[in-house]
A = this chain, B = another copy of it.
């Protein structure tokens, strides 16, 4: 390969350069807005790039929250109310989604600050993002602190799924391209994927 870094070169690297590099390494990341609320009805909205599927039965999803960044308000709300929502980010709202990462005061809702609309269902107390075509309501299953850097793994069980029209195929697959979902690379680059098609189930 043409450029390589061993561990000592990584450790010696300027902090910002290393952060950008390491955040880029995994490849494209999903873009979701995590909606939460506290007992005083203050809402919170935080952009997450580390949401992942854990299992289909029971239906579980997880995300990683870093300890020393703004999403601590989200974490406090999730632990207090034992629920949260995940809402897909589209081309129409990705700039607003990015802006939720600014350090707003505790008493200011990111919904208002960036101009997104909270929406509620009877199933989950946390707010959905009205503008999102894929909305997932989850109850908290557990939080685990990863010992090596105090990142928090939040695991939720899906209680409700709300989808825009025409997204779900007969076999349950979602055609994300229809809804113009975006993907993130590194800390700040956004992309709109074009489908190369679905591949058949692989056999030897």
Contact = CB atoms under 8 A, between A and B. Distances in A.
Interface of A: 1-7, 10, 13-32, 50-62, 64, 66, 86, 88-89, 91, 94-95, 98-105, 108, 113, 121, 123, 134-136, 141-142, 144, 146, 148-149, 151, 153, 155, 158-165, 167-169, 171-177, 181-183, 185-204
Contacts of A176: 24, 27-28, 185, 189
Contacts of A190: 195-199
A15 B55 CA distance: 12
A162 B190 CA distance: 24
7 contacts: A3-B168, A4-B163, A10-B158, A22-B59, A144-B144, A173-B187, A192-B193
A199 B193 CA distance: 18
Given A27-B89, A189-B195, 14 more contacts: A17-B172, A19-B56, A21-B168, A25-B136, A25-B158, A26-B51, A26-B86, A28-B193, A29-B52, A58-B148, A146-B155, A174-B186, A176-B189, A194-B194
Nearest to A9: B161
Nearest to A184: B28
Contacts of A51: 26-27
A189 B198 contact: yes
How many copies of this chain are found per oligomer? 2
Q: Is the interface of A mostly helix, strand, loop or mixed?
A: mixed
Contacts of A17: 171-172
Contacts of A59: 10, 18, 22
Q: Which 8 A-B pairs have the closest CB atoms?
A: A27-B30, A191-B193, A20-B172, A17-B172, A24-B174, A1-B162, A21-B172, A28-B183
B64 A54 contact: yes
